[in-house]
Structure 1
Amino acid sequence: MAGELGVLNALDVAKTQLYHFTTIIIAGMGFFTDAYDLFCISMVTKLLGRIYYTEPNAPKPGTLPPSVQSAVTGVALVGTLAGQLFFGWLGDKMGRKKVYGLTLILMVVCSVASGLSFGSSPKSVMATLCFFRFWLGFGIGGDYPLSATIMSEYANKKTRGAFIAAVFAMQGFGILGGGIVALIVASIFDHKYNAPTYEENAAASLVLPQFDYVWRLILMFGALPAALTYYWRMKMPETARYTALVAKNAKQATADMSKVLQVELEVEEEKVEKYTGNERNQYGLFSKEFVKRHGLHLLGTCSTWFLLDIAFYSQNLFQKDIFSAIGWIPPAKEMNAIHEVYKIARAQTLIALCSTVPGYWFTVALIDYMGRFAIQMMGFFFMTVFMFALAIPYDHWRDKDNKFGFVAMYSLTFFFANFGPNATTFVVPAEIFPARLRSTCHGISAAAGKAGAIVGAFGFLYAAQSKDPTQTDKGYPTGIGIKNSLIMLGVINFAGMLFTLLVPESKGKSLEELTGENEGEGDIEATPQEGSRFPNAATA
């Protein structure tokens, strides 16, 4: 039925064409913006503390109170979780394209508004910032299920994994871009004002008022790439799978894809009517039939994404704390506020350039050869190994002569996160669920991931702030908190390996084969549990 529709077959067997790359760029720039906006906050939180929480003539620079830092760091993640659930559901109800532009508008407006956060007191400025970052996250959340679903439904089955992973790989460039923008802005302000260090400033006064512009400019720049792609998003036609299988409009689906593929396709209204009238393919998300066919699959995608994001977001959002702990970033009192932004951004940029970005593109290159299952299992395994290798001999790594070894090993955990589960947890939910539930299920899986990110952001913050009693005079998180956090992240990554056994392999199959929508082929109804545990099984 569905798999026999000419328009869908044409998409499945299409050679790689310009429209594939156009779709990657259009959807990928959303992810560039997503990553930029979510992770750039970690480069300015220390600056916010120095600007708004340093008292006149204080003996050392101010820091954000734990509750404020938790809110500033985590509120966008809460908004992202809500946006993933809402826009994932809306994408199946109204269509992918109709709500695709709305998410971009939210990101543009709220990126600018975040940088314009106002208030008459530090508390009011932080409250305004948190308000706009929540809605920024809400827009970002919608981009996850919509971009993944659109790319999966446009791609051919031979290279579908690479195309979806390429969209997600733009996240790496977003992280890198955030670091580069912070380096440029910090350099400009440092060169212009040449502020003294905190120790050199005998009056121990507040940082220069002009430094308030630094964090605002860094946050607002995130609006630019999203704004540039809005026009092209609005020109994209709705995906054929939604138009034919959900909206039940065979004529429109054929017309749209004839333009995209630049071939003449036959309108097959009778086949679409036959498919959409089949009760076997009309079960809902909360039905027994869905649980029977896809219950373990949804558990697998949700649990692995949840566990992965605890580790991934902990590492990304609190790199500055870990690098301070091992002495790679000097104590705050030895730097002025702009030098601190520069050094944090430099550290995060080097990590992104040397490990994060390459990891994403290794996945793009190999996912359709190795398969999703193998890459995800391998990634979790090496993340586990490197986390324990950092945590167990932690005192060894804290020695200044060994700090570069620590950074190198820490970088490898990022590499295998991205050449591993950070990419595959995004790809698989866009492939294994029926068209009418695909965006919803991807949104649920992604929201489970953001729940893990929230656990990581808030949990790691408090764990990292516990002080080693022998090092209390150094003024930054050390010892007990960091070590125990790394051990916990290793345990979490190991659990991710176990839950990966629930995730099916989707390499080389059409979406309709994977979901059982294609009558007589790939019907997962008979053995959903067995098929989910063996990556090369015939069933999905």
Structure 2
Amino acid sequence: MADFGPRAPHGPDMSGTHSPLQDMNLSEKEAFDSLIRPDDSYTPDGVYWADLPLLKKIKFVCKYDAHEARRELGDIWAMFKEDPLSPVSYYFRNMVLPGAGLGLEGYVLFSIGNIKPLFANAFPACWETNEICNPTWIASVEYLEICGIIVGQILVGIVGDWIGRRWGLIQDAVIMLLGLVMLTAAWGVTQNGWVICYVWSLFFYGIGVGGEYPMTATSGMENAVGSGKISTKEDRLHRGRKVTSAFLMQGWGQFFNQAILIILLLCFHHGSGNPPYSTVSAQWTYRVSFAIPAVGTLWLVYYRCFKMKAASRQLAIAKAKAQVTGYDTDSLKLTLKYFGGRLLATAGTWYANDVFFYGNKLFQSEFIAVISPQSDSIMPGWLYNLLNVGVSLVGYYLASFLIDNKLYGRKWMQIIGFLMDFIFFVIPAFNFEYYTSPEHIKAFQAMYFLSSFFNQFGPNSVTFLVAAEVFPTPVRATAHGFAAAIGKLGALHAAVMYNYISTQEKFYVVPWFGLAGVVLTFVFLPDTTGLDLKEQERRWYYLRHNREHDYHGPAVHPKHLSLWERLRGVGKYYDADLDYQQKVEEMRGDWEATMAQRAEEKEGTFDDSDLNEGLLNADVVTFFERTSPMIFAKEKYTPPSEDSSEEQLPPPKLGPDEITQ
């Protein structure tokens, strides 16, 4: 064996005759515990939080969450004292910018339902009575837009796993920019020709919108996790918040679209929102409303080209470990083999959710007409929708704050959200005349708005997160894109079905999709709340090497498996003590490999390429440098003299990632 230089006392015995735990002194044991059993997931006795009895689990989680909340508030106060605007800039840098693409697509995508009543009022012969326009093309406004989204979700999901996250993000922004230019300039020699141009522009724009889903989810999640073998508290405690904070920009996009449409109509319609609406004011209103996000999307292209150069970093690490250069087809096959139930859960629940979410958005004018039946102006409907979006935003933010809570988290949030949507639709469905009568219209309105709140504070936020989170890195974008595409089939289902049934019949049909979402979530969706995502990558390594039985970590803890997986015996290998010993062996093995690489250097300099194969060793190097004072505190590196016969190792070159405790 090569001589790796000085090592810590009681260094690893490589003979394989006894446990590495026997080699540890007390300080080493504490050092390993701080990384392998961090205090946010383990008790001082080394018990994983999910293994605790219920009351102790509640006490442990509440105590640590309160401590973390105080720490974060203290950090915010310290930032505010130094610079009152620094918390705002931090929010924009870490939440707004990662979700800018979703904010822009939310602005445009949901404007279709908002603009439809304006077109119907300004161009009644085309959009209302279909006298001069083909009704098939009018109906295809919703159909082709959703078809474009489905194409984008599948296509860009594969591209994101094949070429990289960064190029997928850039491609999305460019497609959306060109689509917005087409929408703004859409024209035809007849009104029917204009509609055809408008529809195909929406289809093209929809391809970029579809790609935003897998790219924003995967890049945001992998940015939260970071690189290296040892994870951080940011991943364990705030991964869900980071991703959903980007996703909720979709809600702000809807809000600003509705607000800007109201302002533009007042500007171009002589300060009045009442009919009749001239064709000129309608054209200016909708075209300027599309030109505004085009400017933002142009900036997004620049930002992703020049400011997101490391977006594909973790994918590159995973491919280097697996020695894959193109698309990882082996990982796709293994995903189908081991995670088929998760595909059913993520795709099926997204389908059920989009019947709710997109159905309501595409046809919200008809629902609001029930609330405000006396007015022929579009302004009351727009104002009610603005209120509805405001209620939804409250749901988005509450989901972001609670999605990482170990006692509630992803799975319960989605189950309760689906269940509440079921209740709020099934009650008026069988008492429609009662709740739509003037004296009870407020109750109907409250249930409709609350269904929007629980849709965001539930399945709409959770499906976006877990469709990326429950799958391994090499196929994460593909799996997310597939689930999102199946979800858009639910939106397409709603778009087709809602054209042929009455408003009351919609309330008869929709609730059962909420109930189906409850069942699918309960049976097939694992709960990844509090799970260190690096543990899932560790398990994936064993699966790739056909050693499923050798993995004993938290990724196969019953808490983090679905009911379907538990019934199939997936969690039978979980063993906390064996997992601890295994991690110690892995970390020490990585340390030995790193020292061997450094010993091979002849020139006295350390090249980054030695750690390019995954940056696995960089974290371990940092760990030992911090926890082995005999090596790094007392024996500083000094360049060897020309007459020195003893070869000394060069100083370690640390990577950018730090191990945060």
Give the TM-score band, short-chain normalised: 0.7 to 0.9
CA distance in 2, matches of 1:195, 1:176: 18
1:244 maps onto 2:244 in alignment: no
Q: Is the 8 A contact 1:391 1:486 kept in 2?
A: yes
The match for 1:154 is 223
The TM-score, its normalising length taken from structure 2, stands at 0.65
TM-score (norm 1): 0.78
Flag the 1:282–1:461 CA change in 2: closer, same or farther, 3 A. Answer: closer
Amino acid of the structure 1 residue aligned with 2:515: F
Q: Could you tell me which of 176, 196, 214 is aligned with 2:285?
A: 214
For residues 306 and 63 of structure 1, what CA distance do their matches in structure 2 show?
35
Q: Which residue in the other structure is 2:471 paired with?
A: 433
Distance 1:350 1:436 in 2: 41
Gaps of 5+ in 2: 1-31, 42-70, 76-88, 225-234, 543-550, 575-661
Greater length-normalized contact order (CA 8 Å, ≥ 6 residues apart): 1
Q: 1:391 aligns with which of 414, 423, 429?
A: 429
Q: How far off its partner does 1:175 sit?
A: 0.9
Mapping of residues 137-536 of structure 1, within 5 Å: 137-155=206-224, 156-191=235-270, 197-198=275-276, 207-234=278-305, 235-236=307-308, 237-246=310-319, 248=320, 272=321, 276=323, 283-285=330-332, 287=333, 289-326=334-371, 328=372, 330-332=374-376, 335=377, 340=378, 342-353=379-390, 355-369=391-405, 370-463=408-501, 481-501=502-522, 502-514=524-536, 516-517=539-540, 519=542, 520=551, 521-522=553-554, 530=563, 532=565
Contact 1:387 1:486 in 2 (8 A): yes
Corresponding residue of 2:166: 97
Q: Note if contact 1:49-1:64 (Cα within 8 Å) is conserved in structure 2.
A: no
Deviations 1:362-417 (A, max 9, x none): 10000000211010000000000000122121101222232232221100000000
How far residue 43 of structure 1 moved from its aligned partner, in angstroms, is 1.3
Q: CA-to-partner distance for each residue in 1:451-489, whole Å, 9 max, x for gaps?
A: 1111112211321xxxxxxxxxxxxxxxxx111111211
| CA 325–244 in structure 1, closer or farther in 2 if over 3 Å, else same | same
Deviates more, 1:489-498 or 1:211-220: 211-220
CA deviation digits over 1:304-336, x for unaligned, max 9? 00111011111111111111134x15453xx4x
* Structure 1: distance between partners of 2:273 and 2:193: 27
- Does the 8 Å contact 2:348/2:486 carry over to 1? yes
Pair member with larger Rg: 2
Please identify, of 218-227 and 365-374, the stretch whose mean Cα deviation from structure 2 is larger.
218-227
Deviation at 1:231, TM superposition (A): 2.5
Q: CA-to-partner distance for each residue in 1:8-64, whole Å, 9 max, x for gaps?
A: x99x99x99998963532221111111111111111112223333438xx9x99998
Q: Which amino acid aligns with 2:433?
A: D
Q: Which residue of 1 aligns with 2:120?
A: 49
Note closer, same or farther for the CA distance 1:180–1:377 as it changes in structure 2 (3 Å cut). same
CA distance in 1, matches of 2:216, 2:164: 12
- Provide the C-alpha distance between the structure 2 equivalents of 1:99 and 1:282, rounded to a whole number of angstroms: 19
1:530 and 1:396 map into 2 onto residues whose CA distance is: 40
Aligned-partner Cα distance in 2 for 1:311–1:523: 32
Contact kept, 8 Å, 2:153 with 2:482, in 1: the verdict is yes
Give the conservation status (yes or no) of the 8 Å contact 1:293–1:528.
no
Contact 2:117 2:365 in 1 (8 A): no
Give the Å deviation of 1:216. Answer: 1.8
Residues 329, 344 of structure 1: 8 Å contact kept? no
Instruction: Map 1:53-64 onto structure 2 (within 5 A).
Output: 53-54=124-125
How many aligned positions are there?
Answer: 464
* Residues 226-249 of structure 1: per-residue CA shift (max 9 Å, x gap): 233333222111343212112x2x
User: How far apart are 1:506 and its partner, in Å?
Assistant: 0.7
CA distance in 1, matches of 2:566, 2:353: 19
Instruction: Give me the whole-angstrom Cα distance separating, in 1, the residues matched to 2:336 and 2:534.
Output: 18
Q: Say if 1:64 and 1:494 are closer, same or farther in 2 by CA, change over 3 A.
A: farther
Displacement after TM superposition at 1:293 (Å): 1.1
CA distance in 1, matches of 2:497, 2:487: 15
- 1: distance between equivalents of 2:387 and 2:510? 22
Alignment identity in percent?
Answer: 25
How is 1:31-50 mapped onto 2 (pairs within 5 angstroms)?
A: 31-50=102-121
Aligned AA (2:401): A
Q: Cα distance, 1:276 vs. partner? A: 4.3
Q: 1:26·1:232 contact (CA, 8 Å) conserved in 2?
A: no
Amino acid at match of 1:312: F
Q: CA offsets, 1:96-151, max 9 Å, x none?
A: 01221111111122113212110011110000001111010000111100110001
Extract unaligned runs of 5+ from structure 1: 199-205, 249-271, 464-480
What secondary structure does 1:27 align onto? coil
C-alpha displacement of 1:529:
6.1
Whole-Å separation in 1 of the counterparts to 2:237 and 2:557: 24
Compute the displacement of 1:65 (Å).
6.9
Q: In the alignment, what sits opposite 1:262?
A: none
